[in-house]
Amino acid sequence: MPIVDQLRAEFWFYQQYVKKDNEIRNLSKKVIVDRAVLGLFCYSNMLGERSEVSARIMLRARQRQWVPGLYVFLTARPEILRERLISRQDSGAITHEDWENGMSDFIRTLHRSAEDVARESNSPLIDTSNKSPEEVLQEVKKLYDNFCITS
């Protein structure tokens, strides 16, 4: 991908996080947001030293004062994610061949990145591998309730 396209993509993602952050700042109550700036750190971690564009965006992101909050990472073991992605109807029709031809590496790297960012940011990480959606919901709700009480 040409550097201009990479730059446009990175800045677009960054601006979406800034926009969401600004909207949250204007609210007077606690809200649950599906993704936050820590997600951007996870994806950018995957690029490592290979992407100057990502490194510049991440430098800008680290300099911004983001809305503080509770960040919860949901993950699952890569082999569980494989089965979930292949069986889903809304995941872009990922096949066994897609998994063998690069998707597995992407998911493994993203999984490690999420673990690293959760650890570095002292954020909870919930492994959903052997849990029902209802069990995950209860864990997130408990974390959210505790966060609301203490902040």
Task: Read off the pLDDT of each residue in 8-12 and give the average, rounded to a whole number.
Answer: 80
Q: Are strands 73-75 and 125-127 parallel, antiparallel or unpaired?
A: parallel
Q: Give yes or no: residues 52 and 126 share one domain.
A: no
Look at 5-9, 51-55, 100-104, 119-123 and tell me which has the smallest mean pLDDT. 51-55
Last residue of a domain, one of 45, 69, 93: 69
Give how far Cα 136 sits from Cα of 3, 30, 132, 151, Å: 39, 20, 6, 22
Q: Give yes or no: residues 37 and 78 share one domain.
A: no
- Give the E-state strand segments of 18-116 in sequence order: 73-75
pLDDT of residue 41 exceeding 80, the answer is no
> Other CB atoms closer than 10 Å to residue 58's CB: what's the count?
19
Q: Give yes or no: residues 78 and 62 share one domain.
A: no
Cβ distance 11 to 57 under 8 Å?
yes
Cα separation of 39 and 54, whole Å? Answer: 13
pLDDT reported for residue 112: 86
Residue 54 belongs to domain spanning:
1-69
pLDDT reported for residue 45: 65
pLDDT one-digit tens code per residue, 57-97: 777 777 888 777 788 889 999 999 888 888 877 756 778 88
In the chain, the number of structural domains is 2
- Give the E-state strand segments of 11-89 in sequence order: 73-75
Q: Give yes or no: residues 131 and 149 share one domain.
A: yes
Q: Give yes or no: residues 3 and 65 share one domain.
A: yes
Q: Give yes or no: residues 56 and 88 share one domain.
A: no
Last residue of a domain, one of 10, 36, 69: 69
Cα separation of 47 and 76, whole Å? Answer: 21
pLDDT one-digit tens code per residue, 97-141: 888 888 888 888 888 888 888 888 888 999 999 999 999 999 999
